[in-house]
Amino acid sequence: ALILLAQSYMCNFGIDRAVLSSYRRSWSFGLDGFTLDSNKAIMPRLIAARRAECTQLSRLLHNSRFRDTTPLGEEIASRMAHFCLSQYAEVRKHAVSALDDITALIPSLKYPLIPRFLSELDASEASDPERMTGALRVLNTPPMKQTCLRDWRFFPKLVLALCRAQHEDKPQVKKLVRNTAVAQVVHVAAPRPVSDTNQEIRNMVLQLPGDNPDDVSVYQIKRERQDQYQFASAENMQLINSLVDILRDAGTTWRFAAIAGYYLDQLSSVEMPLSSRVVATLAENLTSDLVLFRESAAIYLTQLVCRIKHRTKPESDFSALEKSQPSKDYADLCERALAGDEEALNAPFLDNPAAGWFVWPDEVRISPQVPCGAEEPFAQIDPASQDAYDAVRSVIFRDDKWERIARLFSIESTRVPEEDSFGVSRAMLHEQLFSLFGLPLLKHAWPSISSLAQDFERTGAQRAAAEMIAGVMRGSKHWSRDALAQMWDLLIPLLTSVLSRLRPDTLRFWQVCLQYAFARRDPRRYLPLIRLVIYTNSFDPQAEAPFAEAAKLELMRVLISCWDWRIASAIISSKPRLLDALAHPYKQVRDATGVVMYMLSSSEFSVSYECVGTAIEDLARYGSTGRDFSHWIGTSRTQNLIRDMITSVNDWKVDHIPSNEGTSNYIRGCKTLLTFFVAGFGYSARRLAIEHIPEILPLFSLLQEQHDDEDVARLANVVMQFLSQILYTADISEGVANKILALLDESAMWHVVNKTLPLLCTLTFSNRFTLSRDVRSRILDTTAAFLEHDQIEVRQSASSSLTSLVKCASPEVITDINSKFSAKLQKRLPRVRHGKPLKNPAAYSKLVLTRHAGVLGLSCLVLAFPYTIPDWMPEVLVLLANCMDDPNPIQGTVQRTFAEFRRTHMDTWHEDRK
C-alpha cells in the first residue's frame, strides 16, 4: 500500500494517468465509431468534447515530466530503491514497477540510484541472492537500461559486474544475469569520434529558430562532445583490458567467459585503436575448446586483421582506372594466357565480372600485377597497427597453432556429417590471415593443411582443408609473382590428388571452395588451377568411373558459372569431348554433360554494345530498352553443337527398337538433349533455348509418349511445359505457335495431339498480347477442328482447351462459334429400332461424331460463362436439351454440361430464370 501511495504521489502529479488512459480509449472508440462522412475532422459534439478533455489532460501530464527534483522526491525514490532490494518477492515486484514509472517521469532521480544497484552485483561475503535479483530486475527496466548503455560512467561497471557474477549459484540469479547480458549486448556499441561539420551544416544550425548560436557556442558544444568521446574512449580501453583479463583467468566459467567474449566482440570498433591484447586474445580463442569462442573469434579477428591490412596499404594502391581496351581483346585473354602469350600473361587483372555486361565501358578498374619481390606482401606495416600485427603474428606462427586449428576446425559442426557445410566465415578468416602474412604463413601452416587434405576418410577434414585452401587462393591477391609460383608449387600436386579422389559427400566442399576463390577475380589469377581442371584432370567419356567423370564436369561447371565468357573460349579450345558423352551409359554423367554443354554454349562471347556512344544512340532510336537482343542463336560453334546433337539422335532413332530396358543410344541421347534444354530454362540465359526449341519441337512431342522410358517422357513434358509458359517477343511467339499448329496438323499419333492441345492453350494465354489476330484465329479454328477427332480423349482435351479460349474471345467470335456448332445439330439421328441392323453404319457413326462435336462446341460456350447468362445462352441450352435422347457419348456430355450449369448458377437462379 505504501508503494502504491508513493507511486501515485510521484507519477500522478496534476493528473491521474488512469483517468487519462480511460479518456484516450473512449475518444479513440468514439472517433472510429461515430465519425461523419469518413471525415475525421467532422465529429459529434460529445466526441469533440472528449478530445478537448484528452488534450488538456495530456498537456498536464507533459508538464509534470522532467520537473525539478525535491528532497521529498529524492527520499521517496531512495525508499523505493530499498523496497526493490527487499527479501519478499511480492514487495520487490511492486517496487520495481513503481520505480520504473517514477524514473521514466523524472529521469534525474535514477542517476544516484544506479551505483547503489550496481554495488549489489559485486562479489562479496555479504552478497544476497534476493537483493541481487531485485537489482537485476531494476537494471532491466527501460529507463535504467538505456542509461547504463549510453552513459560510460555506469556502462563499464555494469558489464564487469555481469561478467564477474559467477559467485552466485542460485539458478534464478544466473538466468537473470544471462538475460540481462543478452538483452544488452545486441545494443552495445563502441564510442564513435566526433566528426567535423562542414560549412553547409553549420549554416543550417545557425539558421534554426530561437536563440541563434554563434561560432563560440558551436565550438563549446563541439569541445564538450570531444571531451565526452575522450572519456568514453579511455573507459572503453580499460573495459576491454578488464574483459581480456576475465577471458584469460583460468577460474572463469565458460558461461561468463562467453558473456565477456560477446561484449569484447561488440566493443572492438573499427575507429578505435587496435589493442594488441584484444587481437592476441581473439587469436588465442581460435583454438578454444568452446565452439562459441571459436566462431566469434573467427568472425571478429577477420575484421580486425582486415583493418590492419587496409590501414597498411590503402585500397587506392590496389586498383586504378585505366582506358578500356576493346571488348574483343578480353574475350580470349584467358585462352591466350594458357597458351603462353606474354601479352596476355602481363595484362592487368580485370576482377569485376559485370564489366561489359550491357555496354563495354570507356574506363575499367584494373588491378596491376605485383612484380617479383619478397615473400611477404607488405614491407611496411601501419605504425598505429604495428603492435596488433606483432601480437597476431606471435600467436599465429606458434609451432602447434595450426595443428590445433586443423584439429578443431575439422570437427563436424553438426551431429549429422551429411549436413556439414562449407564455412564461409572460416574461409574469410584464412583469406585475411594469408593476405596479411603471405607466403611465410603458408609455409608454416602447410603441414597441417596437407595433412587435412590427404585425410580422405573424414568428411570434416576435407571440409576444413577446402576452407583453408580457398582462403589461401583468395588471399593471394597481392602476393608477388615469386610467392605465387611457390604457392602453386605446393597447391597443384595436392589438389591433383584431392580432385582425383573425390567422394559424393566431399565434392560439394571443393565446389564451394572454387566458387569462393573465383568470385570477382580475373581467371588469369588461377591459370595453374585452370590447367589442372580442363587439361590434367580432363573429362574422359570412355572411362568406367561415372562419379569421377561427373565430378570433373561439375568442377568445369563451376569455372563456367564463375567466369562465363571469360573462360568459355579457353574450355572450348581444350576440346573437352562433351559430344562423345551424348549417349553415355550412366545418367549421372549424361545429366552433368547436358548442363555443362548448355552453360558453355550460352556463355560464348556476345557483346551487346561495343562502346557507350553506340548504346546512347540505340537508346535514343529504339526507346528506353534499347535494341532487341533477344534473338540470338549462338555462335557458329554453338549452332554446330546443337545440329550435331540432333543429327546423332536422329541417326540412333533409325536403329532404335522399343524395349522395356530403354538402354539404346537413342534413348540415352534424347535424355542428354532434353537435359540440355531443361538447363536452358533453369538458368537466366534462356535466349539460346528459346531460339532452338521450335526446330526440334516434333521430336520433343514424340518423346512425350516414349513409354519404354519414364525419364524421357518426364523430361519431354517438362520442356513442353516450359515452352508454353515462357513470355516471348512478338515474332518468336508467332513462330512457336505456327510450329505447334503445324505439328498438330501433321501428327498421326492421337497421344501427341492430346498432350499438345493444352500446351497450345497455355501458350495463347501467356502471349495473348504478342500474338496477332490471324494466329489467334488459327489456334481457335484448329482447336475446334479437333472436336471431330475419331479419338474421344482428343475431343475431350480439345473441348477443355476451347472452353478456356472462348473466355477471352470477342462477341463476334462467340457468335461465329455458336452458328458453326449449332449447324452441326440440324440433322437429327435416324431412329434405331431394337433388333434391326442399321442400313448405313458408317454414315450413322459419322453423324454421331458430327453431333457430338456440335454438342461439345456448344457446351464450351455454356461452360465459358459460369456466372452469367448472355442473350444467346437460352437458345443454346434448348439445343443441348434436344440432344438428351442421343446415344453416348452425346448424352453423357449433355448431362455433364447441365449439371455444371446448375451448380454454377444455383445461387442466382431466382434471378436468372426470369
Cα dihedral across residues 245, 248, 250, 252: positive or negative: positive
**Three-state secondary-structure class, residue 719:** helix
Quote the CA–CA distance of 434 and 770 in Å, as a whole number: 56
Helices (H), 683-806: 687-692, 697-703, 710-725, 730-746, 750-766, 773-785, 792-806
pTM: 0.75
DSSP symbols for 606-651: --SBSSHHHHHHHHHHH-TT-S--------HHHHHHHHHHHHHHHH
440 with 475: CB under 8 angstroms? no
pLDDT at 321: 46
Quote the CA–CA distance of 30 and 34 in Å, as a whole number: 6
> Quick check: 610 pLDDT over 80?
no
Residue 745, Cα to own-chain centre: how many angstroms? Answer: 45
pLDDT at 404: 93
C-alpha cell at 173: 540469479
475 with 431: CB under 8 angstroms? yes
For the chain, first and last CA: distance in Å? 76
705 with 747: CB under 8 angstroms? no
C-alpha cell at 454: 590427404
pLDDT at 262: 77
> Quick check: 445 pLDDT over 80?
yes
Give the number of other CB atoms < 10 A from CB of residue 337.
21
> Quick check: 613 pLDDT over 90?
no
**Three-state secondary-structure class, residue 367:** strand
Ranking 6-10, 117-121, 160-164, 652-656 by mean pLDDT, the lowest is 6-10
Compute the average pLDDT of residues 404-424. 76
172 with 211: CB under 8 angstroms? no
**Three-state secondary-structure class, residue 909:** helix
C-alpha cell at 393: 603474428
Quote the CA–CA distance of 230 and 238 in Å, as a whole number: 12
Phi then psi for 250, rounded to 5 degrees?
A: -65, -20
Quote the CA–CA distance of 561 and 91 in Å, as a whole number: 67
Q: Rg (Cα) of the chain, in Å, rounded? A: 40
pLDDT band with cut points at 50, 70 and 90 for residue 554: very high
pLDDT band with cut points at 50, 70 and 90 for residue 523: very high
pLDDT band with cut points at 50, 70 and 90 for residue 318: very low
The model's pLDDT over 285-309, given as tens digits with 9 standing for 90+, comes to: 888 887 877 887 888 888 888 888 8
Using alpha carbons, select from 831, 859, 853 the residue that is nearest to residue 844.
831
Quote the CA–CA distance of 747 and 893 in Å, as a whole number: 26
**Three-state secondary-structure class, residue 572:** helix
Task: For strands 363-366 and 320-323, give the pairing.
Answer: antiparallel
Where is 363: in which H helix or E strand?
Answer: strand 363-366
Higher pLDDT, 788 or 52: 788
Q: Report CA-CA distances (Å) from 700 to 158, 332, 815.
A: 72, 35, 36
pLDDT at 85: 87
pLDDT at 323: 47
Quote the CA–CA distance of 400 and 414 in Å, as a whole number: 26
The model's pLDDT over 339-374, given as tens digits with 9 standing for 90+, comes to: 998 888 888 888 887 776 667 677 777 777 777 777
Taking the CA atoms of residue 474, residue 475, residue 477 and residue 483 in that order, the dihedral angle to the nearest 10 degrees is -120
Q: Which pairs with CB-CB distance under 8 Å and at least 24 residues apart come from 285-288?
A: 285/247, 285/261, 286/405, 286/408, 286/429, 287/401, 287/404, 287/405, 287/408
The model's pLDDT over 80-109, given as tens digits with 9 standing for 90+, comes to: 888 888 888 888 888 888 888 888 878 888
C-alpha cell at 51: 478530445
Compute the average pLDDT of residues 385-400. 91
Burial of 855 from C-beta contacts in 10 A (0-12 / 13-18 / 19+):
buried
594 with 672: CB under 8 angstroms? yes
C-alpha cell at 555: 568442377
Where is 233: in which H helix or E strand?
Answer: helix 215-248
Where is 231: in which H helix or E strand?
Answer: helix 215-248
The model's pLDDT over 808-844, given as tens digits with 9 standing for 90+, comes to: 888 888 889 889 988 888 888 777 766 667 677 788 8
Encode burial over 739-758: b for 16+ CB neighbours within 10 A, e otherwise.
bbbebbeeeeebbbbbbbbb
pLDDT at 515: 95
Quote the CA–CA distance of 705 and 754 in Å, as a whole number: 11
Quote the CA–CA distance of 216 and 228 in Å, as a whole number: 18
Cβ neighbours of residue 637 closer than 8 Å, sequence gap 6 or more = 572, 601, 604
Q: Report CA-CA distances (Å) from 537 to 499, 542, 560, 661.
A: 8, 14, 16, 33
Mean pLDDT of all residues belonging to the chain: 81
Q: Report CA-CA distances (Å) from 660 to 649, 664, 665, 673, 707.
A: 19, 11, 14, 21, 8
Using alpha carbons, select from 708, 711, 714 the residue that is nearest to residue 660.
708
DSSP type of residue 321 = E
pLDDT band with cut points at 50, 70 and 90 for residue 78: confident
138 with 144: CB under 8 angstroms? yes
Using alpha carbons, select from 526, 562, 565 the residue that is nearest to residue 328.
565
pLDDT band with cut points at 50, 70 and 90 for residue 912: low
The model's pLDDT over 887-901, given as tens digits with 9 standing for 90+, comes to: 888 889 999 988 888
Cα dihedral across residues 245, 247, 251, 257: positive or negative: positive
Compute the average pLDDT of residues 452-457. 93
